[in-house]
């Protein structure tokens, strides 16, 4: 076979060699190439393809995961926004209620203070009235005592026995 | 033996006095009852009860007349007549009491009645009114 190939090569070299190509070398290189190609296709390419496929799958999963994460994040942000809005609404409502209650408390406090003040004034006026009445009574009593004492003194000085008898007679007539 | 009340004793004494019994004899009887019933300290009260009983029956009134000055005979008669008429008694015994604190006028007290026309009373009334 080698001889035939050598013959073939010799025969063809006359044609190909005209193109500047060594046919023997070319055939040898072709065979070598085919062997290498067969080796690669048998042991290397399947593993390489499998590895590449695995990496592609991993990448795709990562992308899906990233997309899911992004969606989850968006949902979480939306939910957080809703919660924040609700919290703000609640805070506003609580603040408004607090304002209302504070106003009510202040109003009640003012009313209570006003009532208490009025009561204190009324009590003070009552006490003042009682004190005035007491002083008036005391003054009246003292005045009566003074009038009675003065009258008694004058009567003791002016009323002699004769006038006393006349007084007794008048009294008896009044009684009779 | 049941104990006689002071009112019963006074009624008995009035009966005896109005029956013209001896005063000393009645007094001895009453004294014996009081001593026997251990009420000797009630002799004064019994005398007042007897006076009240006699006045109630219209027999006599023991009038204590209080004035600042001595009463004239005419005033005594007037007072006696007044008490007879007012207390409706036949006889009046006047006991005069001179008390300077009455200032003027007269106060007549019997066992059952009292009339106060003194100036001290009027001044007291004025004090109370004022």
Beta strands B91-98 and B60-67 are parallel
pLDDT confidence of residue B19: 87
- Closest in B75, B85, B103 to A168, CB measured: B75
pLDDT confidence of residue A143: 85
**If you average pLDDT over residues A114-123, what whole number do you get?**
94
- Whether B117 sits inside 8 A of A161 (CB atoms) is no
**If you average pLDDT over residues A1-8, what whole number do you get?**
52
Q: What is the DSSP letter of A172?
A: H
Helix or strand run (H / E) with residue A10 = helix A2-16
- Closest in B106, B126, B130 to A171, CB measured: B106
> Sorting pLDDT into bands at 50, 70 and 90, what band is A4?
low
Partners of A156 on chain B (C-beta within 8 Å) are 103
pLDDT confidence of residue B1: 59
In percent, how much of chain A has pLDDT > 90? Answer: 63
Residue A20 contacts B, CB cutoff 8 Å: no
Please give the mean pLDDT across all residues of chain A.
Answer: 88
Residue from B105, B92, B120 nearest B66 by CA: B105
User: Cα torsion for B38, B44, B50, B54, to the nearest 10°?
Assistant: 180
| Lowest mean pLDDT segment, chosen from A7-21, A35-49, A71-85, B6-20 | A7-21
Phi first, then psi, for residue B110 (nearest 5°) are: -115, -175
pLDDT confidence of residue A1: 44
Q: Flag whether pLDDT at A78 surpasses 60.
A: yes
Please give the mean pLDDT across all residues of chain B.
Answer: 91
Q: Which segment, A14-23, A154-163, B99-108, is predicted with the most confidence on average?
A: B99-108
| Lowest mean pLDDT segment, chosen from A64-68, A94-98, A150-154, B28-32 | A150-154
Q: Flag whether pLDDT at A13 surpasses 70.
A: no
**If you average pLDDT over residues A4-27, what whole number do you get?**
68
ipTM > 0.90 (yes/no): no
pLDDT confidence of residue A141: 82
**If you average pLDDT over residues A60-87, what whole number do you get?**
94
C-alpha to C-alpha distance for B89 and B59, rounded to whole angstroms = 5
B 68-87 near A (Cβ less than 8 A): 68-72, 75, 78-79, 82, 85-86
pTM (predicted TM-score): 0.54
Mutation for B interface: A151, A161, A175, A176, most B CBs within 10 A: A175
Alpha carbon of A6 to those of A3, A15, A29, A131: distances in Å?
Answer: 5, 14, 15, 156
Beta strands B114-118 and B105-109 are antiparallel
Mutation for A interface: B67, B104, B116, B128, most A CBs within 10 A: B104
pLDDT confidence of residue A134: 94
């Amino acid at each position: 076979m080698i001889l035939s190939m050598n013959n073939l090569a010799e025969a063809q070299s006359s044609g190909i060699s005209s193109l500047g190509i060594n046919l023997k070398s070319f055939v040898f290189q072709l065979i070598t190439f085919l062997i290498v190609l067969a080796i690669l296709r048998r042991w290397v390419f399947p593993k390489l393809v499998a590895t590449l496929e695995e990496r592609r799958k991993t990448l795709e999963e990562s992308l899906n995961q990233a997309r899911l994460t992004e969606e989850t994040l968006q949902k979480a942000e939306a939910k957080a926004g809703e919660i924040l809005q609700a919290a703000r609404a609640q805070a506003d409502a609580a603040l408004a209620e607090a304002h209302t209650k504070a106003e009510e408390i202040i109003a009640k406090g003012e009313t209570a203070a006003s009532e208490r003040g009025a009561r204190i004034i009324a009590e003070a006026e009552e006490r003042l009235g009682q004190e005035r009445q007491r002083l008036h009574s005391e003054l009246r009593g003292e005045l009566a005592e003074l009038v009675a004492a003065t009258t008694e003194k004058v009567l003791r000085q002016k009323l002699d026995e004769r006038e006393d008898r006349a007084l007794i007679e008048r009294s008896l007539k009044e009684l009779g | 033996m049941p104990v006689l009340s002071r009112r019963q004793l006074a009624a008995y004494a009035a009966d005896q006095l109005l029956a013209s019994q001896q005063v000393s004899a009645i007094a001895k009887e009453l004294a014996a009852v009081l001593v026997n019933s251990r009420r000797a300290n009630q002799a004064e009260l019994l005398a007042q009860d007897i006076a009240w009983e006699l006045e109630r029956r219209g027999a006599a009134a023991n009038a204590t007349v209080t004035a600042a000055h001595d009463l004239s005979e005419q005033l005594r008669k007037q007072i006696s007549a007044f008490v007879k008429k007012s207390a409706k008694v036949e006889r009046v015994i006047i006991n005069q009491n001179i008390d300077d604190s009455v200032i003027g006028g007269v106060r007549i007290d019997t066992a059952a009645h009292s009339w106060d026309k003194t100036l001290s009373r009027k001044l007291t009334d004025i004090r109370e009114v004022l």
